[in-house]
Amino acid sequence: MATVQIFNSFKEAVAEGVHNLGSDTLKFMLTNVEPSLSSTVKADLTEITAGNGYTAGGSTVTVTSSSQTGGMYSLVLAAMSFTASGGSFADFRYIVLYNDTAASDQLIGFIDYGASYTLTDGNPFTLNAGTFLTNA
């Protein structure tokens, strides 16, 4: 079962006005190296090699809603897909959400799939992130 982890620096970055999750450009990138919760920016992580349909820096995520009700904040993301084309992607286990608008690409959180995944030529990997953050 996939689990979501939030980077330690995220709440401080929100408090300091680094993120506007409702309007900033958010991206998912792939890695097979376990991210440290103490990492703060994308450059702290090891991304899989670009190619075969995977673009360096990952793919832009559509924010379905960014809202607060009764003191509970939720960030809801639309489903998105990565598709291998012309060969397989490098193995990945972690899908990292980061803010591409923020200086230095500030990290938000990541999904751990529990085991490495190989995406072979012609096949899609669909991510249904849904509610990524609640009460952040």
Instruction: Report pLDDT digits (tens) over 72-118.
Output: 888 899 999 999 999 999 999 999 999 999 989 999 999 998 999 99
Q: What is the pLDDT of residues 11-22, one digit of tens each?
A: 889 889 999 998
SS3 15: helix
CB count within 10 Å of CB 15 equals 9
CB atoms < 10 A from the CB of 134, how many?
11
52-72: average pLDDT: 92
